[in-house]
Structure 1
Amino acid sequence: MSSAAGKPYLQIVQGDPSPEEVAALVAVLTARARAHAAAAGGGERRVSRWADRSRLLRGPVAEAQRPRGAGAWRASGLPR
């Protein structure tokens, strides 16, 4: 492997690894780099609406805001 400038990304300086061993090493290093980038990026985690604890709060009391009609039974159990 080499970069555009001609310098190698990875250089094995001792031993005679098989192609499988080199592939395993590259896979491990790539996974660690991606995990580091994801941790550094942070960002906002998306939380499932089913896991949202605000659903535990009391819903609307007004009759006009309650689901009605053919699909009311289904709408009553879904997160808002």
Structure 2
Amino acid sequence: MDIPDIRVEKGHAEPEEVAAVTAILLARAASAPVEAPVHHGRAKAGWRRLERTPGFRAPHSWQG
């Protein structure tokens, strides 16, 4: 017994409808760029590590 790679979760799809969706997905996958973009340098994290922050912040501090 052959298990299909695509499954309809809700409702009923005719074989032609499944074939059309499969064709669209394969066409999109084929048009995607093969190589990943090259990043120069190291990206900066948008957050701070807690172990690198001072233990006390003033009550009027804007960081807290």
Normalising by structure 2, report the TM-score. Answer: 0.43
Higher percent of residues as helix? 1
The structure with the largest alpha-carbon Rg is 1
Which structure has more RCO (C-alpha within 8 Å, separation ≥ 6)? Answer: 1
